[in-house]
Amino acid sequence: MHAYKIAAIAAAALMAAACDFTDSDRQIEDLKKELKELKESNSALRQSYIDQNEDISRILEEIVTVTGRTASLRSDVESGSAEIAQAEQISESIRQIRRRIDELESAYSQVSAKNKEFKRMIDGFKKVISEQEDQIQLLKDEIKAKDLTIAEQEVTIQKHEVTISAQDETIRRQNEELQATVAKQARMLYEAGMQLEEIADNAPEVSWKKNKEKVDIMTQDIYRKARLYYQQAYEAGYEPALAAISAIQAKIQAE
């Protein structure tokens, strides 16, 4: 629309120059001034879109990073080496990403109101972050539960002599819990892969070649990371992950 208005002003300037009015010089100067302002406005708008794409890319990178850290924490929980401080650090990172998403949405509120794709992308970011928050809370609860269990077991050992039958029962129960934990972690790995795949599927469309290449490379990296999670889930015994591996492999090859 700016381009049309610039053309109209330029045409008006030419017409004014061709007419023999006493105030033609002033009119032409006014038109030149307005033309300059419109060009500057058009340049500012173009820069705004560039900044927007860069902000989106940074947020996407941060989401991928925090998702990977969550997966690492999940592995630590499974091995029993996780600490609550790790989960708190990830929670803080998630809060920072959420603030950046809110800032992005606020900064481009006019774009969000007119561009459904932009709004859908923002909503998608918020959904992924909410899911990450839920996962971290589950892991926090599990870490606290394990810490509490260890403390209670230490007290019990100090106060009572554990009999052979009690030890056998404890071993049996722990084996069941371990199997349940492995199954749960496999499912969570699969879900993490699904979330990453969804992020890659909904990668923003950009018109600038440099940004497009960057988004394409990032999309491939996310697909590969999702495939790794699917493979880990399948190796842990989660059968549905096999079909997901085949499907995402096709997406990787198609890119």
Per-residue model confidence as pLDDT tens digits over 149-197: 877 887 888 777 677 778 878 888 888 887 888 889 989 889 988 998 8
For the stretch 72-91, pLDDT in tens is 989 888 888 888 899 899 99
Cα–Cα distance for residue pair 128/192, rounded to 1 Å: 10
- Is the CB of residue 56 less than 8 Å from the CB of residue 208? no
| Strands (DSSP E) found in the chain | none
Taking the C-alpha atoms of residue 222 and residue 220, their distance in angstroms, rounded to an integer, is: 5
Q: Is residue 239 part of a domain?
A: yes
Q: What confidence score (pLDDT) does residue 24 get? A: 59
Structure confidence at residue 14 as a pLDDT band (50, 70, 90): very low
Quick one: pLDDT at residue 4? 43
Distances (CA, A) of 251 to 14, 61, 220, 222: 55, 20, 9, 11
Residue keyed to tokens 């859908």? 120
pLDDT computed for residue 81 by the predictor = 86
Structural domain for 239, as ranges:
163-255
CA atoms of 190 and 211, how far apart (whole Å): 30
Question: In the predicted model, what is the mean pLDDT of residues 140-155?
Answer: 84
pLDDT at 47 exceeding the cut of 60: no
Q: Does residue 53 form part of some domain?
A: no
3-class secondary structure, 208? coil
212-244 tens-digit pLDDT: 788 788 888 999 998 999 999 999 999 999 999
Residue 55 host element (H or E): helix 24-79
* pTM for this entry: 0.44
What is the amino acid identity at position 129?
Answer: I
pLDDT-derived band at 55, boundaries 50, 70, 90 = confident
Which residues, in sequence order, are CB contacts of 100 under 8 Å at separation 6+? 55, 58, 59, 62
Kindly state whether residue 112 falls inside one of the protein's structural domains: no
Token duo for residue 48: 């705004």
- The answer to whether residue 42 scores a pLDDT higher than 50 is no
123 part of a folded domain = no
pLDDT of the residue at 27: 60
Residues in the chain: 255
CA dist., res. 28 & res. 11, Å (int):
11
pLDDT at 2: 47
Please indicate, yes or no, if residue 12 is contained in any of the structural domains.
no
How many domains does the structure of the chain reveal?
1
Confidence check: pLDDT of 13 > 70: no
pLDDT tens, position by position, 19-37 = 544 555 666 565 555 555 5
In the chain, the percentage of residues whose pLDDT exceeds 70 is 74
- Number of Cβ atoms within 10 Å of the Cβ of 200: 24
* Residue 18 in domain: no
Could you tell me which residue, 130 or 11, shows the higher pLDDT? 130
Domain annotation covers residue 87: no
Q: Would you place residue 206 in the very low, low, confident or very high pLDDT band (cuts 50, 70, 90)?
A: low
Q: What local confidence, expressed as pLDDT, does residue 59 receive?
A: 87
- Please compute the mean of the pLDDT values over residues 64-70 and round it to a whole number: 90
Residue 110 lies in a domain: no
